[in-house]
Amino acid sequence: MTMSTSSPSCATVTLKELVEASDHNRHSLQQALTAMMTASMQDLPTQISINQVASVANIPFHQFQLDSRALAASNVFVLLKSHTPNCQKSRDYLYQAANNAAFILSEIDPVALLTTANMPTDAPLALTTDTLQTSVQQQMIALPCPILYVPDIRDFLGDLIQARLQYQQPTTLPTVVAVTGTNGKTTISQLVAQLTQLTGMSSAVMGTAGNGRLGSLVQASHTTGDALAVQQFLYQMGQEGAELLALEASSHGLDQQRLQGMPVSVAIYTNLSRDHLDYHADMTEYAAAKAKLFDRVHFPDLTHAIINIDDEYAQVMLDTAHASDLIVWTYSLDATKMATFVATDIKPSLQGVEITLRSNFSDTDISDTDISGDKGGNITIVSPLLGRFNVANLLAAIAATVAIGSDVDSDFNSDIERIAAAVPKLQGAIGRMQRVPSAEGCFIVDYAHTPDALSQVLASLKTHCKGQLWAVFGCGGDRDAGKRPLMAQAGLAGADQVILTADNPRTEDPNAILQDMQAGMSAEQYQRTHIEPARQTAIEYAVSQASADDIIVIAGKGHETYQEINHVRYDFDDSIVLQNALKQAGRA
């Protein structure tokens, strides 16, 4: 993620000054600071001077920092809990930061942290002796800077960071559209950015495929960055004049409140299928994390919720959105459903799809000041995007674009016509149903890395396939192992021929991952399966074996330009490897 070279925070500021300069209705920093002081005075050892604690509000600092390694002098270090707690590491971070920080805000109880870190690994976590407690208190007093224990720091950290960014150089922030769901986040966010830009707004995106203005994306390391990175990027886009930011809201990011303080106006839900169960306990917890995006308690700027009612978990999102009194619009590919946006008469081809868009609005769908004029009707739309599931993605993007542009003076029919006229100019996200040119055969690179996503990709392409449909894919290492046989079965159910290969094995043996994927396979399925651990060799094999009428899908990595093996990321881009294989085979 790139940042502006001119820092708006070159001068120092205090927490008290931030509170006084901030919009209290927006940031609630007064309440946050009061809570910080109250919690700190209650939880820090009594030997630490109350005056020292209170004076934190008046200690000058430059910026907030979440990484102790990047901490500069006079920054504020925010020590957050890890999903996989390691007391010794957290203690090291604290001591490392204390030498440079103006002060430290800790989500972790520093007394318990220092106590635990000094104890044997098999000892209980509670304070055990007066001697140990006294030792910890002495360590606290000896630290070069004060520490405030703020257990609810994530509730206002984003607001606090943005207030700091705005202090010297106030900037108008973009309107934010956030997309959550297992599949479709990248495509929808990019379609929203393209449609709004094509219809008159300056737009940017943030997510898996990169961050930045359209046409100049910088590769991101996470779908949703940490709170500091997210707020810095939002501010930078405001400085560059972006009027809209379309971003992906991952379940990790929502659960960890990395998007706190983002001015999300429109929230979109796509679907939920098995993924990230190495992080979430079960699908119910996974859905609950996604539902946070539709809760005004977390995102007070919300006005619209756009929800795919074809998904089995849609009701969870609908209930949360209605409880927050949002304007709720739905979308569907089922012509029998009375969704707000419905695609009927879907006519797919390898050049794209033609659909009839039917819109249905009731009095409860539109507020008195949203959209004037006739509401509803049919319009024909021609899209260059491949795949039936991309029709659903398009509906969500159209709905969001209407929501962003809706006001008392807008006419719904004119808005839809203007948006429909822009649809043929859309470009799919890199690595999402991306067709790689070939003299014969049809070769597709796609990011599908869940059983549901792979099934949808294969089902969409099967109807166009005159020959055989091939699927080349694997599963990532150090992730939900229960997904592996489900991926194989999804591929075998949808494709005629399957090639199992490595994805990002990370620290696992690729052969062990492939063995997991083969669990439960029948003799007939084995006959249609070729196993090749080396991904490049697997792609070359598919190119050599496929006939002129076949369709070949290289799935799982999509836009990624690397393959991660034993903590090392090697250059590997499916589309480039595929292009080279086609050239070598004389099929480019």
Q: Which residue positions form the known binding site?
A: 66, 68, 181-187, 223-224, 250, 256, 258, 479, 503-506, 556, 560
Write the burial class of residue 502 (CB in 10 Å: 0-12 exposed, 13-18 middle, 19+ buried): buried
**Beta-bridge partners for 268:** 179, 306
Q: How far is CA 473 from CA 46, 347, 381, 553, in A?
A: 59, 28, 33, 8
307 φ, ψ (degrees, to nearest 5): -130, 135
User: d(Cα 374, Cα 71) in Å, to the nearest integer?
Assistant: 56
Annotated binding residues for meso-2,6-diaminopimelate, written as ranges, equal 479, 503-506, 556, 560
User: d(Cα 259, Cα 248) in Å, to the nearest integer?
Assistant: 10
Please tell me the chain's helix, strand, coil percentages from 3-state DSSP, rounded to the nearest 5. 40, 20, 40
Residues in the chain: 588
**Beta carbons of 375 and 170 less than 8 angstroms apart:** no
Amino acid at 101: A
Tell me the two tokens of residue 67. Answer: 């990484």
Residue 366 DSSP symbol: S
What does the buried/exposed string (b/e) look like for 529-566 if buried means 16 or more CB atoms within 10 Å of the residue's CB?
bbebbebbebbbbbbeebeeebbbbbbbbbbbeebbbe
What does the buried/exposed string (b/e) look like for 64-80 if buried means 16 or more CB atoms within 10 Å of the residue's CB?
bbbebeebeebbbbbbb
Annotated binding residues for ATP, written as ranges, equal 181-187
User: d(Cα 83, Cα 252) in Å, to the nearest integer?
Assistant: 10
Q: What is the dihedral of CA 56, 57, 62, 66, to 10 degrees?
A: 70
Amino acid at 205: V
Cβ–Cβ contacts within 10 Å for residue 5, how many? 5
Tell me the two tokens of residue 68. Answer: 């102790």
